[in-house]
Amino acid sequence: MANLHRLVLAAALTLVASLAVASSASAAPGNGADVVRQNECYNDPGSGTFCIDAKYVQNSTETPSGNFSYHANGETADKFTGEGDLQGCNGSSSSKFNYHYLFKNGELHEQGSHQTGTFFIDCFNTQYDCTYNYDIHYANGQLQFDRGPEFNCKRRED
């Protein structure tokens, strides 16, 4: 039973890494947008090492009337290597995402988020291949739809 808890924790940590695009990325300006390439690793003692490789384009615009728009579109590839209680666990993920936010007079007016991805986890001689996706759209003070996150995982057979 302890191995099952560790497997679930390792899968969750791998997914969290795939959803993370850290704010400390370096951007290179280009044609009205920023091209961001981020490649970094960090260690969580007792859990493991996470490496994030993200590439995306982001653009923001502010109008004189007080509207602020932000858009990002890109992809990530991440790896996890377990240590401590998760020694021997490894994971990897990849995702594609598209985010858009529109603020009017400092308040969120519209948000659209879409992400799809895959992840693999190998922990305690148990391996899973998974896919996930989510779509969210919020406008005019109401959530118009919230699909997901939806997961589909299949255990690899020996």
Query: DSSP states of 29-83 as a string?
Result: EETTEEEEEEEEEEEETTTEEEEEEEEEEEEEEE-TTSEEEEEEEEEEEEEEEE-
pLDDT greater than 50 at residue 11: no
**What domain count does the chain have?**
1
Written as six digits, the tokens of 27 are: 């951007």
Domain ranges, residue 69: 2-155
pLDDT-based confidence at residue 158 (cuts at 50, 70, 90): low
Q: Given a cut of 50, is residue 95 above it in pLDDT?
A: yes
Asked if the peptide bond before residue 149 counts as cis, ω within 30 degrees of 0, the response is yes
Which of the residue ranges 8-22, 33-47, 134-148 would you say has the lowest mean pLDDT? 8-22
Question: Looking at the predicted structure, is the pLDDT value of residue 7 above 60?
Answer: no
Q: pTM for this structure? A: 0.71
- Average the pLDDT over 64-78 and give the result: 93
